[in-house]
A and B are shown apart, each in its own frame.
Chain A
């Protein structure tokens, strides 16, 4: 039945369409204003950051040819003049000539990330309940713990690493400590947010049964937050593997030392070999932790 759809009489429709147009105009105006603000900020930043489009266009070829150059052998391979100009996969053994050393350094890198994550998470676990609004009634303790955690995660790990390298000497130890401090700050914040969102009924139950503060945490809070904590820790481990791969830039252990050397000294095929190893490691770790996290979350939601 092709009847006309019901329609308001024009005299009642007019004010509605007018107010709709007005609202739309207002929104457009404010979007336009925001756009203009962003563009102005971008121009100012561009001047400050010495953005040089001309240099960029002129050299952008170098960026892509860099990836070309790290993908082929140059004439630096001893006794193998036939390899010059060949794609690296042509002779994988020659490309990955340092695989033993690099694998050892990669294991070191993973261990740095692991130890840093574990130490930092222990610290975060100990402090997070003190920073949660619903669990720590004392305002002074809570706020000072919060500020401390903020300090730990705001100062970049590499800055801690630079300072620790001077205090503890070159090697992986300062790297582990730097990552641990950063992890403590980041996880401490996330953990305390999880703890702030728990169901308070079990807490009241344990309190009513005469439990001490520690007992309340153990029997009412921890069972509720543990799976979230594990999930965040796995995610942090993933991030820390990436962080550990550059700790060597400042002498704090791991594969970064070899990578920065290769980049600075233009050992092109070494750069690609180490980068490929790092990317592969990071991807494998990503995959594994994602699996684990999904398994954990799945178990949680099926309960």
Chain B
């Protein structure tokens, strides 16, 4: 049957092309726009390539160097047992930083998010103010926050906790408030129609809808914060990053690969655990973040 259909279609090819011109030859204007966009993107790429000083010889030299580093990395080894103990302690510290940072950010941004959401805020001015605040906080990278907190509370993991907390207050406030804004209005209207106040509306009409989403996002960020927490040590804010950058700078490649391996395993475990937890708390249907 399908071959008969195919023969028929082929026989009528000219007719088909005439009836659906846009499928066979897209309009000239559309094609020109596509070509112009691609040319602009490629042009910018070539310009950047030159400006940033890429060159083939430098690239190839770097690659050979990199190859030899990878050779030195095998097998991964911490060197001595004493160092291994230090690394494991630093790893625990890293997870603690990520956990506390995420938890504190959650506690602070939960109320802020309601203020930043159009359908739950007190008034428009407050909403815009909170929005701009969270945008500015998000515009600054975690590492910069870490540097600033180091100058306040001194070197150490506490600065890392505060850094992750600060940058996630920005992220969470934005994400949570978007979740709140996309909540179905009808539940809230129902609560109001039975005589509920605005607070009742938020508590019984909006919160049950958004809470699973918010928890899902928080767990997702816990995982990504574990990754961030592994590098803030580079600026002295605790965790395993300090040891990692030290090992890289002193060219102790076996130690480097050992620490990277530790990080990979930890992130995989936390990823697994948080996915399980997410499904346990909010059910499989709402895993979308």
Task: Tell me if chain B binds chain A.
Answer: yes
Interface residues of A (CB under 8 A from B): 38, 41-42, 44-46, 48-52, 55-56, 59-60, 62-63, 66, 107-108, 111-112, 114-115, 118, 150-151, 154-156, 158-159, 162-164, 166-169, 171-174, 176, 208-209, 242-243, 245-246, 249-250, 253, 259-260, 263-264, 275, 278-279, 282-283, 286
Q: Identify which of B89-97, B111-119, B120-128, B188-196 touches chain A.
A: B89-97
CB of B235 within 8 A of CB of A249, answer yes
**Centre residue among A56, A164, A246, A286 by max chain B CB count within 10 A:** A246
Contact present for B69 and A42 (CB under 8 Å): no
Cβ-based interface call for B157 (8 A): yes
Question: Which residues of chain B have a CB within 8 Å of any CB of chain A?
Answer: 2, 6, 41, 44-45, 47-49, 51-54, 58-59, 61-63, 65-66, 69, 92-93, 95-97, 99-100, 103, 135-136, 138-141, 143-144, 147-149, 151-154, 156-158, 160-162, 227-228, 230-231, 234-235, 238, 244-245, 248-249, 251, 256, 260, 263-264, 267-268
Q: State whether B96 touches A48 (Cβ < 8 A).
A: yes
CB of B153 within 8 A of CB of A275, answer: no
**CB closest chain-B residue, reference A253:** B52
Ordered by A's residue number, 16 sampled pairs between the chains whose C-beta atoms are within 8 Å are A45-B96, A50-B156, A63-B148, A107-B51, A154-B263, A158-B231, A159-B230, A162-B249, A163-B66, A163-B248, A166-B251, A171-B53, A173-B54, A263-B151, A278-B139, A278-B140
Q: Is the CB of B264 within 8 A of A59?
A: no
Q: CB-CB < 8 A to A209: which residues of B?
A: 6
In angstroms, Cα B25 to Cα A149, docked, is: 37
Known A168-B61, A278-B139; further 13 A-B contacts with Cβ < 8 A: A46-B96, A46-B100, A56-B162, A63-B152, A108-B52, A111-B48, A150-B268, A163-B256, A168-B59, A176-B52, A246-B144, A275-B140, A275-B144
Closest residue of chain B to A260 (Cβ to Cβ) is B147
Are A172 and B66 neighbours in the complex by a CB distance under 8 Å?
A: no
B248 CB contact (under 8 Å) in A162, A264, A286: A162
Beta-carbon nearest neighbor of A163 in chain B: B248
- Is A172 touching B52 in the complex (CB atoms < 8 A)? yes
Partner of A259 from B144, B234, B248, B268 at Cβ < 8 Å:
B144
Q: Which of B66, B139, B264 has the most CB atoms of chain A within a 10 A radius of its CB? A: B139
What is the CA–CA distance of A208 and B5 in the complex, to the nearest angstrom? 13
Cα of A246 to Cα of B167 in the assembled complex, Å? 14
Quick check: B148 and A263 within 8 Å, CB to CB? yes
| A42 lies within 8 A of B100 (CB) | yes
Contact B157 A49 (CB under 8 A): yes
Task: Kindly state the separation between the CA atoms of A169 and B52 in the bound complex, as whole angstroms.
Answer: 13
With a cutoff of 8 Å between Cβ atoms, the chain B residues found around residue A46 in the complex are 96, 100
Contact of B234 among A38, A49, A249 (CB under 8 A): A249
| Contact for A49 among B6, B139, B161, B251, CB less than 8 A | B161
A164 in contact with B158 (CB, 8 Å):
no
Partner of B151, one of A66, A108, A114, A171: A66
Distance in Å: Cβ of A172 to nearest Cβ of chain B: 4
Q: How far is the CA of A59 from the CA of B144 in the complex (A)?
A: 18
**In the bound complex, do residue B263 and residue A42 qualify as a contact, i.e. CB atoms below 8 Å apart?**
no
Instruction: Take A115-B45, A167-B69 as given contacts and tell me if A48 and B92 are in contact as well, using a CB distance cutoff of 8 Å.
Output: yes
User: Taking A59-B152, A63-B152 as contacts, is the C-beta distance between A162 and B245 under 8 angstroms?
Assistant: yes
> Does B69 contact A66, Cβ atoms closer than 8 Å?
no
Partner pick for A246 among B48, B141, B244, B263, CB 8 A cutoff: B141
Which of B47, B141, B148 has the largest count of A CB atoms less than 10 A from its CB? B141
B238 engages A155 (CB within 8 Å)? no
Is the pair A114, B100 in contact by a Cβ cutoff of 8 Å? no
Q: Is the CB of B52 within 8 A of A173?
A: yes
Q: Which residue of B lies closest to A41 (CB)?
A: B99
Query: Are A49 and B154 closer than 8 Å at their CB atoms?
Result: no
* Chain A residues near B148 (CB-CB < 8 A): 63, 66, 263
Cross-chain contact B227 with A156 (CB below 8 angstroms):
yes
| Chain B residues in 8 Å Cβ range of A42 | 99-100, 103
Among residues of B, the one whose C-beta sits closest to the C-beta of A46 is B100
Q: Is the CB of A245 within 8 A of B141?
A: yes
Asked whether A168 lies within 8 Å of B2 as measured between CB atoms, the reply is: no
Given A49-B100, A249-B143, A159 and B260 touching (CB < 8 A)? yes
> How close is A222's CB to chain B, nearest CB, in angstroms?
14
List A contacts of B100 (CB < 8 A).
42, 45-46, 49, 51
- Give Cα A63 to B146, complex, Å: 12
Nearest residue, chain A, Cβ from B64? A167
> Are A52 and B238 interface neighbours, CB within 8 A?
no
Chain B contacts for A279, CB-based, 8 A: 136, 139-140
Cα–Cα, bound, A172→B63 (Å) = 16
Residues of A contacting B95 with CB < 8 Å? 45
Judge whether B161 and A154 touch: CB under 8 Å. no
